[in-house]
Amino acid sequence: MLEYYNYIKSLHLIFVITWFAGLFYIPRLFIYQIEAYQKSEPERTILTKQFKLMTKRLWFIISWPSAVLATGFAIWLLVLMPGWLQAPWMHVKLGFVVLLIGYHLKCHHLYKQLQQDIVKWSSNQMRLWNEGSTLILFSVIFLVIVRDAVNWIYGVIGIFSLAIMLMLGIKIYKRIREKNPEA
């Protein structure tokens, strides 16, 4: 079975990439849908109907299948390489995977609310939420590539620095949008 290892790993990576693509895009669609609720009629109805359709297709045709397949291939890899479960970096990675699954499930909850026209988040709050998957992706990639050589202090500082930069970028973008709503 080890002769198929590289094929299984390739499929795992492909579906991780498509899963993240869905997780990057779905909150953007949520933002657009939330902002559409602030429009006047008939624009509000037209836009919300379109965004609901787009999120439904993205969520059930790309995001959910990718999440299931990425997880399935990951489990298969762990069956083939059970020694990885002894590695400390793998424990940390699996912790981030649990966070990612939690993030995915919260996105599903938000998806269901917005499909029912329940808006509890502002577009700015959703912009902040949108960066959660980015932080998880950076953490996992650096952890997998660097593994045991990770200096945890620098890693933590790096993730917090990235989070601060992302939040500053969101604040700057908000100011630009306030000055120019078409931006």
Structure pTM?
A: 0.84
CA proximity to 115, closest of 6, 17, 9, 26: 26
**pLDDT tens for each residue of 115-140:** 999 999 999 899 989 988 988 898 88
**pLDDT tens for each residue of 146-159:** 775 556 667 767 77
DSSP state of 61: I
Per-residue confidence (pLDDT) for residue 25, from 0 to 100: 97
12 belongs to an annotated ligand binding site: yes
Q: How far apart are CA 13 and CA 76, in angstroms?
A: 13
The answer to whether 27 touches 126, Cβ cutoff 8 Å, is: yes
Both tokens of residue 22?
A: 């869905």
Per-residue confidence (pLDDT) for residue 150, from 0 to 100: 55
Q: How far apart are CA 148 and CA 150, in angstroms?
A: 5
Q: How far apart are CA 30 and CA 62, in angstroms?
A: 16
Q: How far apart are CA 106 and CA 130, in angstroms?
A: 12
Per-residue confidence (pLDDT) for residue 153, from 0 to 100: 64
The answer to whether 117 touches 159, Cβ cutoff 8 Å, is: no
Both tokens of residue 81?
A: 């390489």
What's the alpha-carbon Rg for the chain, to the nearest Å? 19
Count other Cβ atoms within 10 Å, centred on residue 63. 24
Per-residue confidence (pLDDT) for residue 149, from 0 to 100: 52
Mean pLDDT per 10-residue interval, the chain, length 183 residues: 89 97 97 96 96 98 98 96 89 91 98 97 92 87 72 71 83 82 71
Per-residue confidence (pLDDT) for residue 131, from 0 to 100: 87
